[in-house]
Amino acid sequence: MDTSVFGALAGAGLVTLLIGVVVGVAVGALILSLAFRIIVGSMPPYLRAAGAVVVTAIVGVVAAVIVGLVTRGFAGSALLMVVQFLVGAAVVNYLLPSPTGGQIGFGKACLVQLVYLVIMILLGVLFGVLFAAVLGGLLAHA
């Protein structure tokens, strides 16, 4: 069987994308569990946290399409950030139970989402700085 180089590269790209999504959901669920623990005081089930990350991503994409159809430019970006935050808080409120088994309330869900976003931004900055340092070190030796 004759395999083209482009087919092999496409397959490698898809495998890399799949691994990235799986690792992203796993890390996102871990950080969401940590944020939930900080605000609510108990750890949610890990699989429910992973489900909340996946549902938030799916609903966020749908919301982004809808907001993109309605608005453009900076106003659309600002509105999309607010919508994404509220969608994440709503998903946390509905999918992650409180220690008593009920919902935690939308206010606490907003706090959980805020702590989650702050931790994710800090991790993103940290990995960006590490990547820049490694890339700078590699380019300095070239």
Residue-wise pLDDT tens digits, 85-94:
999 999 999 9
Q: What tokens were used for 114?
A: 């805020």
**Quick check: helix, strand or coil at residue 98?**
coil
Q: Is the pLDDT of residue 141 over 80?
A: no
- Give the model's confidence band at 19: pLDDT under 50 very low, under 70 low, under 90 confident, else very high: very high
As a whole number of angstroms, the distance between CA 55 and CA 48 comes to 10
Please count the structural domains in the chain.
1
Q: Distance between CA atoms of 24 and 49, rounded to whole angstroms?
A: 13
- The answer on pLDDT for 1 being more than 80 is no
What predicted TM-score, i.e. pTM, was given to this entire model? 0.85
Domain of residue 20, residue span: 5-141
Question: For residue range 32-79, what is the model confidence (pLDDT) as tens digits?
Answer: 999 999 999 999 999 999 999 999 999 999 998 998 888 888 888 888
* Residue 142 predicted with pLDDT over 90: no
Query: What is the rounded average pLDDT of the residues 92-113?
Result: 92
The first and second tokens of residue 107, run together, are: 């206010």
Average pLDDT of the residues of the chain? 91
